[in-house]
């Protein structure tokens, strides 16, 4: 028998299509929308890789060595995603970290999905060659055929129908969650396809790595200080302290947490009571991914996905990762309440 494993690749599109076929009422629209997101990720992956060479990391509006106008990578990435999503004909509203206002897609190109995204998260790291990523979440409009409004995106994360991220690093990885399934794909740049490499991702119930910006610890509240002290100075016999890992690029910190376990946190503090991370396109997609991988995501006080954002760039404190690690910090907040 011939070995077909090397020629029978499971691409992201093939995988999503076969999952969608399980739904009798599936139209293929979500698959089409995801195709445009994939295209955006491939385009950004290539641009990130070329950035150092063509000085794409220069100031917006700067000129490269060939005298051509170059755009800063986050602006370029934003345009790439907006163009891909608009032309897919599948989206109704786009919310991007880069745009103050939500973008309402014109009639004629309008579809039934709302996409919230951060086109290039962690971009302040890019000059140092650190991993960056794209984060996205998808809602279905409430009233198909009706007039889309901000109410279609100012909804709890429990109503998101899909979410994911792409990480631009030594390889380009895309993690996607739809219908409680969660799989990881790696871009094979020779054929330009995302190939299924991490089926059914599960996060360990407890980890041994913590990931937080400790430079903010003087501003933390007591439960947060107590929690991080407890994992660094364990009092139980034969218990090792947790290791610290903090890249400062959410996608990279979450990707490691998802694969190895542990906890990632961006707490609120006395300086920034709501923390730094944005609810719609940073906290919710990552929370959905963690939950569907068997982990947890919390504001410290309640389930992250049950929060209702008050505006499109709303922020929230967040603790997410291995179930038991997140439960430990929640217990400390409960005790302090």
Q: Which of 36, 77, 123, 298 binds ligand AHM (CB under 6 A)?
A: 123
The entry of ligand AHM, Mg ion, none that residue 198 binds, CB within 5 to 8 Å by partner kind: none
> What is d(CA 197, CA 251) in angstroms, rounded to the nearest whole number?
18
Q: Where are the beta strands (DSSP E) in the chain?
A: 91-96, 103-104, 113-121, 132-140, 162-168, 172-178, 181-188, 193-198, 209-211, 243-244, 263-266, 296-298, 318-321
Using CB under 5 A as the binding rule, whether residue 121 contacts Mg ion is answered as yes
Greatest CA span in the chain, whole angstroms? 66
In the complex, what is the shortest distance from the CB of residue 276 to Mg ion, in angstroms, rounded to a whole number?
9
Using CB under 6 A as the binding rule, whether residue 121 contacts ligand AHM is answered as yes
The entry of ligand AHM, Mg ion, none that residue 248 binds, CB within 5 to 8 Å by partner kind: ligand AHM
- Per-position DSSP letters for 199-216, written without gaps between them: -S----SS-SEEE--GGG
Q: In this chain, which stretch among 48-56, 102-110, 119-127, 315-323 interacts with ligand AHM, using CB under 6 A?
A: 119-127
93 SS3 class:
strand
Using CB under 6 A as the binding rule, whether residue 213 contacts ligand AHM is answered as yes
Structure tokens at 56: 């794409």
Subset of residues 241 to 280 that bind ligand AHM, contact rule: CB under 6 A? 248-250, 253, 276
Q: Which of 73, 82, 118, 185 binds Mg ion (CB under 5 A)?
A: 118
Q: What are phi and psi of 39, to 5 degrees?
A: -60, -45
Using CB under 5 A as the binding rule, whether residue 291 contacts Mg ion is answered as no
> What is d(CA 11, CA 196) in angstroms, rounded to the nearest whole number?
6
Instruction: State the residues that interact with ligand AHM by CB under 6 A.
Output: 97, 118, 121-124, 213, 248-250, 253, 276
Instruction: State the residues that interact with Mg ion by CB under 5 A.
Output: 118, 121
């Amino acid at each position: 028998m011939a070995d077909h494993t090397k020629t029978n690749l499971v691409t992201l599109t093939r995988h999503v299509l076969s999952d969608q076929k399980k739904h009798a009422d599936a139209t293929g629209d979500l698959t089409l929308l995801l195709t445009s997101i994939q295209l955006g990720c491939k385009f950004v992956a290539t641009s990130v890789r070329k950035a150092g060479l063509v000085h794409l990391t220069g100031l917006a509006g700067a000129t490269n060595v060939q005298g051509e106008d170059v755009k800063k990578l986050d602006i370029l990435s934003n345009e790439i995603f907006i163009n891909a999503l608009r032309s897919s004909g599948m989206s109704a509203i786009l919310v991007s970290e880069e745009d103050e206002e939500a973008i309402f897609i014109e009639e004629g190109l309008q579809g039934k999905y709302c996409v919230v995204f951060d086109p290039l998260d962690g971009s302040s790291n890019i000059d140092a060659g650190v991993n960056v990523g794209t984060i996205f979440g998808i809602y279905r409009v409430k009233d198909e055929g009706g007039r889309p409004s901000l109410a279609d995106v100012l909804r709890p994360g429990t109503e998101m129908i899909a979410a994911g991220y792409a990480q631009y690093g030594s390889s380009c990885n895309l993690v996607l969650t739809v219908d409680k399934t969660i799989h990881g794909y790696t871009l094979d740049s020779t054929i330009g396809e995302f190939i299924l490499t991490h089926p059914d991702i599960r996060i360990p119930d407890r980890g041994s790595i913590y990931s937080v910006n400790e430079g903010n610890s003087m501003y933390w509240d007591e439960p947060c200080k107590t929690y991080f002290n407890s994992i660094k100075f364990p009092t139980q016999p034969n218990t090792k302290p947790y290791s610290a890992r903090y890249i400062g690029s959410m996608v990279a910190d979450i990707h490691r947490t998802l694969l190895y376990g542990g906890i990632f946190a961006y707490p609120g503090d006395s300086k920034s009571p709501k923390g730094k991370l944005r609810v719609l396109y940073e906290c919710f997609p990552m929370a959905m991914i963690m939950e569907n991988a068997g982990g947890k995501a919390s504001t410290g006080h309640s389930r992250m996905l049950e929060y209702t954002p008050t505006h499109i760039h709303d922020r929230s404190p967040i603790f997410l990762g291995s179930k038991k690690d997140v439960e430990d910090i929640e217990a400390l907040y409960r005790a302090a309440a």
